[in-house]
């Protein structure tokens, strides 16, 4: 799988003299609209916040799968492990596995260069082949993976487009780590994914919205 979230600060030039307490106060970070979803798995619950304001196409697609029960009974089936950096490192992947009875139409790609989201620890990112082909499979990151963010100046289309972040884990990273640590089948999987398939996939028993106060 294949980087940038930048916050800009506007500096105002004040008259010479001591700054007032009000001037010294920092502007609070912006807040954006989200929807909360719980993924009840056979290893425990994962609660995620979906970025419906910043990544509306991708987040709304995920919510449609939730609302239509298309994730219920699917599995986390992949644990990609990276042996560099802080451990554990890598991602887990789950969802519909292109089941024609579950998937709906592919969605337009929302690069991180447009949404302002980044592939950080706990991020939810759409799994796909080419941009614009994502349906109902997604990944959760164990560590920051800036290489998966869009790099608009890259000559390589794979890096230029990056992957689409659409939410993040707010509870249950211990469950994500437990799934990631589960045994894999060294012979399962094709190509560069060989050896990344969980020997016993972890069931997503139910995915549902949590009403917000």
∠ Cα 168 184 187 (to 5°): 130
For 155-183, what is each residue's pLDDT tens digit? 987 789 999 999 999 999 999 999 999 99
Instruction: Give the total number of structural domains in the chain.
Output: 1
Q: How far is CA 55 from CA 34, 60, 94, 173, 204, in A?
A: 10, 8, 20, 22, 23
**CATH number of the CATH domain containing 78:** 2.40.100.10
Residue 16 lies in a domain: no
Q: In terms of C-beta density within 10 A (0-12 exposed, 13-18 middle, 19 or more buried), how is residue 81 classed? A: middle
Would the pTM of this model clear 0.75, i.e. be above it? Answer: yes
- Structural domain range at position 185: 32-210
Rounded mean pLDDT for each run of 10 residues along the chain, 213 residues in total: 31 34 57 96 99 98 98 98 93 97 97 97 96 97 97 88 98 99 94 94 98 73
Number of CB atoms found within 10 A of residue 132's CB: 11
**N- to C-terminal Cα separation, the chain:** 36
* 144 inside domain: yes
Q: Report yes or no on 54 lying in a domain.
A: yes
């Amino acid at each position: 799988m294949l980087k940038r979230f930048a916050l800009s600060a506007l500096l105002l030039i004040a008259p010479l003299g001591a700054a007032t307490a009000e001037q010294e106060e920092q502007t609070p970070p912006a807040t954006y609209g989200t929807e909360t979803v719980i993924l009840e798995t056979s290893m425990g619950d994962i609660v995620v916040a979906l970025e419906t304001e910043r990544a509306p196409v991708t987040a709304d697609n995920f919510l449609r799968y939730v609302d239509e029960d298309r994730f219920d009974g699917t599995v986390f089936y992949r644990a990609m492990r990276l042996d560099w950096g802080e451990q554990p490192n890598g991602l887990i992947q789950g969802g519909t596995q292109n089941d024609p009875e579950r998937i709906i139409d592919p969605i337009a790609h929302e690069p991180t260069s447009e949404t302002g989201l980044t592939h950080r620890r706990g991020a939810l990112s759409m799994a796909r082949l080419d941009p614009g082909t994502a349906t109902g499979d997604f990944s959760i990151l164990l560590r920051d993976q800036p290489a998966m963010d869009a790099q608009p100046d890259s000559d390589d289309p794979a890096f230029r487009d990056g992957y689409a972040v659409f939410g993040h884990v707010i509870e249950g990273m211990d469950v994500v780590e437990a799934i990631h640590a589960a045994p894999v089948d060294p012979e399962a999987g094709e190509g560069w994914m060989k050896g990344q398939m969980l020997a016993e996939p972890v069931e997503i028993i139910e995915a549902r919205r949590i009403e917000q106060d």
